[in-house]
Chains A and B, each alone.
Chain A
């Protein structure tokens, strides 16, 4: 029963990793911008949600505020940080340092606004009860699963069936050709940031309710998103989703044979294994040498 319990814990963690990683992958896949500040969108959404719930807002309204904050942050980064850099140097290093700086500013802002302590939202949804002897499940598990299925389904349909979605996919391939067809690469880039940042919201909201948040959560989220993207295949949305799930389940299942402190390390062992033996990830395209 321990294995079943660990598997369930891993799936719950994994789907939240998957959503957050998919946001990063969507942005990177469409714009080729290494959006290191994606974790800051998660932190802003999480803290915004906690703030609203503490202020007495209902959960849906609080989640809406979290979405507005995350999307607003993504659009801000695109318009006022990455675009000016790309107009000049546009190097990977400059983009990375700028995003890293923004993460520090966001973390400091959160520390000023909320203090440096841990914050969480208390809800009966996160309290697990026994469904079988030794097997505990919280309603948050089903919510996380349902949200992930709905969001991935909607996103998949949007990218595959709508003109804007197809244009978004084409943006990464050939922005000049897009312009030739009368489409605006700038608008599509902004859309990628908006959608990608919105994908961080479910993880942030459920994270605030299940594990809680601390001001430094952004760097942890970014590390997981990056690892999931590499495992799944850089730039692949589907890959990031599967990669996130694989990491979450690996982190949890390893506890059945090793001490709990090796839990996070297990995720990175998976990452290194992929880098060594399948560097293009699960769904990534092979690169020609």
Chain B
């Protein structure tokens, strides 16, 4: 009998100990954030930039001890392609068990979103600008203005400058086609016209023939919508092949390989308003720590992915305070409950689709530096 009691006590003790151990392990288990960026190939430059912004936010959240559990970043290479996006997202969801994924590129997002949505994993985009990324999924949020907003901003500006005939060079993919539709809709409304449409593919590297066709269309201005290293090749080859018209593009051109290109001098582009003169503590801390390390101003991509990670920290902190679990559903509910967050650039407000509203500037490159035009 005594032996039986002892055994029962020992069993109960072991069970209680096991439960406590499991609880402690759950407490210590990190929140896994995933990144699905192009880390190799012609768009790898973006992957480096996006990751730098996310890493700084991670450093700040860790230093602030905002969350009860540690944060880890797991990276998957999307290669900038839909196929790479689908494979990478599957690994992040099923192998790494990421509950919040930072994502960029329109094609990648459209391929990865159904996988993330099925697993109720939140995906935050700070780099892709395809117009149809708005409302892609309840779990897909944008912290970057989409190309439709950039086109709406630039179309009246071009017409006001007297550049009414626009030659449009666009990537034949979800991003480029979305932008083309926006341009075909917004430009005539502003009083302009499309002088020629020129579709290109991501792998294209020779643009001398394209330059001949663009010249043949006799445009007042050339608008191009590409991404990665190809943008610099387009600019250089258009200029080398006698295209003297004003070149215009969207925010994707703000990468070092374009900024450092002599032929890109005077390039006009739209970009979300850079908040570097803001005086709120979040922006000041981000800017100070960035400049201490990099000795240069950050780009809006750094800002966006910093904000994306910071947003997770704020949402998870709120949920922890309420004693709620941190998962896709609770993060979404918390986002829609709070709506306004202190982010880099000041207080940001999210709409019902989970998109952050951001003002857009028109800027030009002077000596490799962006200068505000309008």
Contact = CB atoms under 8 A, between A and B. Distances in A.
Interface of A: 2, 5-6, 9-10, 12-13, 111, 115-120, 122, 126-130, 134, 136, 138, 210-212, 214-217, 220, 251-252, 255, 259-261, 263-264
B43 to A, nearest CB: 8
Contacts of A211: 205-207, 233, 236-237
A122 B199 CA distance: 26
19 contacts: A5-B215, A6-B212, A9-B212, A13-B206, A111-B40, A116-B48, A118-B257, A120-B233, A122-B263, A127-B240, A128-B241, A138-B241, A211-B207, A212-B233, A214-B205, A214-B229, A216-B41, A260-B199, A264-B206
A251 B206 CA distance: 9
Given A116-B44, A128-B242, A2 B213 contact: yes
B253 interface: no
B261 A120 contact: yes
Contact of B256 (A117, A212, A259): A117
Nearest to B39: A116
Contact of B237 (A2, A122, A129, A210): A210
Contacts of A130: 242
By size class, the interface of chain B is 35 or more
B215 A263 contact: no
A127 B241 CA distance: 6
Interface of B: 40-42, 44-45, 47-48, 172, 198-201, 203-210, 212-213, 215-216, 229-230, 232-233, 236-237, 239-242, 255-257, 261-263
Contacts of A210: 208, 237, 240
Given A211-B207, A255-B210, 8 more contacts: A115-B256, A117-B232, A130-B242, A251-B209, A260-B198, A260-B209, A261-B200, A261-B204
Contacts of B203: 220, 264
A10 B215 CA distance: 17
Contacts of B208: 9, 12-13, 210, 252
B171 to A, nearest CB: 9
Contacts of A215: 44
Nearest to A220: B205
Given A13-B208, A211-B206, A255 B213 contact: yes
B180 to A, nearest CB: 12
A111 B44 CA distance: 9
Given A122-B263, A220-B203, A117 B45 contact: yes
A138 B240 contact: yes
A271 B108 CA distance: 31
Nearest to B241: A128
B216 A2 contact: yes
Nearest to A265: B201
B232 A212 contact: yes
A212 B236 contact: yes
Secondary structure at chain B's binding surface: helix, strand, loop or mixed? Answer: helix
A138 B203 CA distance: 24
Nearest to A210: B240
A263 B204 contact: yes
B212 A5 contact: yes
B240 A116 contact: no
Contact of A6 (B209, B229, B230, B262): B209
4 smallest CB-CB distances across A and B, nearest first, come from: A117-B257, A118-B229, A116-B44, A9-B208
A217 B203 CA distance: 10
Contacts of A2: 212-213, 216
A130 B244 CA distance: 12
A252 B41 CA distance: 25
A251 B48 CA distance: 33
B201 to A, nearest CB: 5
A255 B212 contact: yes
Contacts of B198: 259-260
A128 B242 CA distance: 6
Contacts of B201: 261, 264
Nearest to A127: B240
A134 B215 CA distance: 8
A228 B253 CA distance: 34
B232 A252 contact: no
B258 to A, nearest CB: 8
B213 A117 contact: no
A198 to B, nearest CB: 23
B253 to A, nearest CB: 12
A214 B43 CA distance: 10
Nearest to B256: A117
A263 B229 contact: no
A263 B206 contact: yes
A263 B205 CA distance: 10
Nearest to B233: A212
A124 B208 CA distance: 16
A196 to B, nearest CB: 23
A87 B346 CA distance: 67
Given A6-B212, A117-B255, A264 B204 contact: yes
A255 B207 CA distance: 11
Nearest to A211: B205
Nearest to A111: B44
A216 B42 contact: yes
Nearest to A1: B216
B210 A120 contact: no
Nearest to B263: A122
Nearest to B231: A118
Contact of B172 (A6, A261, A264): A261
